[in-house]
Structure 1
Amino acid sequence: MSEPQSLMLQEAESAGTVVEGQIARNRSLMVDAAARLRRLDPPFALTIARGSSDHAANFAKLLFETRLGIPVVSQSPSLATLYGKVSPKVAGAFALAISQSGKSPDLIETAKAVRGQGAFLVAMVNDPASPLAEEADIVIPLHAGSERSVAATKSFIASLTAISDLAAHWGEDRGLARALGDAGALLDNAWAMDWSEAIEPLAAVRQVLVLGRGLTWPIAAEAALKFKETAQIHAESFSSAEVAHGPMALVGEGDPILAFAPADEAAQGFAERLAAFAERGAKVIAAGSEDTTAPAAIRLPIAGSKDPAVTSIGMIASFYRLAEALARRLGRDPDDPPFLSKVTRTR
Structure 2
Amino acid sequence: MTTSIMAREAASSPSVIRAQLASNRETCEALGERFRQQPPRAIMMIGRGTSDHAGVFAKYLFEVGCGVPVIAAAPSVAGVFEATLNLEGCVAVVISQSGRSPDILHQVKLAKAGGAYCVALVNDTTSPLTEMADAVLPLHAGKEKAVAATKSYLATLSALCQLYACWKPDAALKEALDGLPDCMQKAQEAGPRLRAEDLSGIAHCVVLGRGFGYAIAREIALKLKEVLGIHAEAFSSAEFLHGPVTLVEKKLCVINVSLDDETASFHTSQLADIAQRGARVTDISLSTGTHKRLQPLVIMQRFYLDIEQVAQEMGLDPDTPPGLKKVTETV
When normalised by structure 2's length, the TM-score is 0.97
More moved, 116-125 vs 271-280: 271-280
Matches within 5 A, 1:152-301: 152-195=149-192, 198-288=195-285, 301=286
- 1:345 alignment partner in structure 2: 329
Q: Secondary structure at 1:5's aligned position in 2? A: coil
Aligned partners of 2:93 and 2:120 also within 8 Å: yes
Moved over 6 A (4+): none
Match of 1:29 in 2: 27
Determine if contact 2:207/2:255 at 8 Å carries over to the other structure. Answer: yes
* Partner Cα separation in structure 2 for residue 160 and residue 97 of structure 1: 13
Kept in 1, the 8 Å contact 2:196–2:314? The answer is no
Shift, 1:38, TM fit: 2.0
Select which of 5, 8, 33 maps to 2:6.
8
**Aligned partner of residue 111 in structure 1, secondary structure:** helix
- Deviation for aligned residue 1:99: 0.5
> Among residues 65, 83, 87, which one is paired with 2:85 in the alignment?
87
User: What residue identity is the alignment partner of 1:139?
Assistant: V
Counterpart of 1:310 in structure 2 is 294
Q: Please name the residue that 1:328 is paired with.
A: 312
How many angstroms apart in 2 are the aligned matches of 1:338 and 1:225? Answer: 14
Distance, in Å, in 1 between the alignment partners of 2:38 and 2:327 is: 33
Measured against aligned partners, the alpha-carbon deviations of 1:68-92 in whole angstroms (never above 9, x if no partner) come to: 111100111211111011212x111
User: What secondary structure does 2:121 align onto?
Assistant: strand
Distance in 1 (alpha carbons) for counterparts of 2:84 and 2:202: 43
Cα contact 1:211–1:238 (8 A) shared by 2: yes
C-alpha distance in structure 1 between counterparts of 2:159 and 2:146, whole Å: 21
Change in CA separation of 1:129 and 1:39 when aligned onto 2, cut-off 3 Å: farther
User: For 1:101-130, what per-residue CA distance to the aligned partner results, in whole angstroms no more than 9, with x for missing partners?
Assistant: 111101001011111111000000001121
| Partner Cα separation in structure 2 for residue 250 and residue 74 of structure 1 | 28
Matched, 1:107 2:107: no
Match of 1:296 in 2: none
Percentage identity across paired residues of the two chains:
41
The Cα of 1:304 is off from its aligned counterpart by 2.8
- State the secondary structure of the residue aligned to 1:258: strand
Mapped to 1, the partners of 2:75 and 2:326 lie a distance apart of 19
Output the CA distance in 1 between the equivalents of 2:200 and 2:95. 32
RMSD of aligned residue pairs (Cα, Å):
1.2
- Quick one: distance in 2 between partners of 1:269 and 1:220? 16
- Matched to 1:343, the amino acid is V
8 Å CA contact 2:51–2:153 kept in 1: the answer is yes
Per-residue CA deviations over 1:273-300 (Å, capped at 9, x if unaligned) read 2212221222211134xxxxxxxxxxxx
Gaps of 5+ in 1: 289-300
SS state at 1:26 partner: helix
Contact 1:150 1:337 in 2 (8 A): yes
- The amino acid across from 2:328 in the alignment is T
Secondary structure of the 2:319 match is coil
Is the 8 Å Cα contact of residues 198 and 285 (structure 1) preserved in structure 2?
no
Mapped partners of 1:302, 1:86: distance in 2: 45
Name the aligned partner's letter for residue 324 of structure 1.
E
User: Deviation string for 1:289-326 (max 9, x for gaps)?
Assistant: xxxxxxxxxxxx33231x21101111111111111111
2:94 corresponds, among 78, 86, 97, to 97
Equivalences, count: 331
Q: Distance in 2 between matches of 1:287 and 1:75?
A: 30
Instruction: Tell me if structure 1 keeps the 8 A contact 2:257–2:284.
Output: yes
The alignment status of 1:54 with 2:38, answered yes or no, reads no
Counterparts in 2 of 1:119-158, with a 5 A limit? 119-158=116-155
TM-score by length of 1: 0.93
